[in-house]
Structure formats: structure tokens, C-alpha cells
Amino acid sequence: MVMAFPAMGLSQLEVADKTAQSLSQLVKEKKASIVTIKAVLKLEFRGSSEDLHRQVPAVIVDNMGLIVAAASALAPPGDARFKVSPKTLTVHLNDGGEDLRAKIVAKDITSDLVVLKIQDLGGRKISAVTISRSATPIMGQRVVTISKLNEGFGHGTLFLSSRINGQLTKPRTCWTTENPGDAGLAVFSLNGTLIGFNGSVVSGLSTNTVNPLARMIVGGNKDKLAVVVPAASLLPLIKEAKKAVARTTQASEEKTKHD
């Protein structure tokens, strides 16, 4: 028996096939710029300390080895009770070579993003996502985040497809998505145009209460929302990171001269 498919069904299959091809090409083009940060964080709590190990996906944004990642994953804010600070940070490039040491050189706590610098590439070749202008998405537009799993899963590459479902102008201009991707990673349109980076913003609203239970129930002033931060808004942060690297390099060269 021969099955007959209505014309609309064939059209939908063709569209789905083209979308699959676009996604496959996007992952192929961008996956080399997605790396894994292996972090050892020092947790200090009530006079004692403990090392915390975690692996975080991140994205290379400059050929000199600058990397954008989630601030809350690598340098989370502490309070009077505890403190968390990065002890060692290494970058896994997934190219068969050894992991490379890195350090945080700039931070934007208002968007939950940090910039790291690979300390010595040692001649290794890297691929970067270039930040220039931001493409402005429209409501309902499909967007894609490309990520890497940790070494327990062989650093496998995967993508997360979502849609723009809102736009904010306060506390900053940014967009929301119906299914946020991993924090710190780049967000692309289906044709590969860079839109922004997965970050977060805080409303800043206060509960006007000091009762810890009440603050926990209503969220206090920690009303955090996952958002897509426009790519162009990271340019000042990247500039700050490059200045910090230049200062460190100059200081090292001067020390070498004196020695």
C-alpha cells in the first residue's frame, strides 16, 4: 500500500531538514571556540577551608586567548559567613594537548560574566568567536547556544535551541529566552550571527526585612533572571581585560630587566 502525504506535510519536512542542516553547520563552525574551564575553588567557611572542583563550559573570544565564562561559576560572591575564590583555573581545548593555565582578568558582576586569559598558548592554535556589533533579535526568533560537556562525557559538543520570548530595558537592555542555555556561553542566530552571551541580571528590589526565613521565601534582593546580554555590551569588558593583560606583561618585562 502506497502512503500519500499532503503537500503541507512535505513542506514541513523540507523546512525541518533545512533547519537541521543549518544547526549542523553552525555546530561545525563554532565548536572549536567552545572550551572547558577546569576550576579548583577554595571555600572558606567558619575558619576551615575546602577545595571544590568543577568544570564549566566557556567561549574563546579573542585569538590572544581571552575567554568569556560565567562569573557565578568561577568567582561566586560570598558574604560574612563564607568566601569562595579561584585557586587554580585551567583550560581544556579538546585538541589532544595538555590543559593550559588561565586567570581571571576582568569581571562584570552586573551581567554575571568574567573574562579569563590563557597565560601561555605555547604555539597552540585556537578559534575565537569575534565580538563586534550585536545583532538585534526579534520576538519569537530561534537562537542557539553551543556547549561542551565535562570530561566524564568525553567533552562532547551539544547545542541548545531556544526562542527569544522577552526584552528588558531595566536594569539593562537584554533579552530573555524560553529555555536559557549554559551561563557564559555565546548565543547565535540560526545563520551563525552572534547575538550575545548568556548572563543574568538582578532586579534590585528589596523585601525590607532582615528576617532570614522571610528573605529566603521571597528571594530578598537576589531576584536573578537568566538573560542574553548583547554582544556589543561586552566590548568595554574585553577592552578592560586587554588593558589588564598589557599591564601584567609590562610589569613582567620590567622585572626581567631589573633581574
The band of 221, judged by pLDDT with boundaries at 50, 70 and 90, is very low
Q: Where are the domains of the chain?
A: 31-128, 142-237
pLDDT at 140 over 60: yes
pLDDT in tens, 77-135: 766 677 888 999 999 998 889 999 999 999 998 999 999 999 999 999 999 998 987 78
State the residue for C-alpha cell 576550576: 39
**92: β partners:** 36
The separation between CA 97 and the C-alpha centre of its own chain, rounded to angstroms, equals 23
pLDDT, residue 1, reads: 47
37 contacts 90 by C-beta, under 8 angstroms: yes
Identify the CATH number of the domain defined by range 142-237: 2.40.10
pLDDT at 194 over 60: yes
CB burial class (10 A; 0-12, 13-18, 19+) of residue 157?
Answer: middle
pLDDT, residue 208, reads: 54
Identify the CATH number of the domain defined by range 31-128: 2.40.10.10
pLDDT at 253 over 90: no
pLDDT, residue 5, reads: 47
pLDDT at 13 over 80: no
State the residue for C-alpha cell 579573542: 62
- List the grid coordinates of 37: 574551564
Classify the C-alpha dihedral 148-32-40-85 as positive or negative: negative
Q: What are the Cα distances from residue 83, in Å, to 47, 110, 198?
A: 11, 19, 25
The band of 224, judged by pLDDT with boundaries at 50, 70 and 90, is confident
59 contacts 34 by C-beta, under 8 angstroms: yes
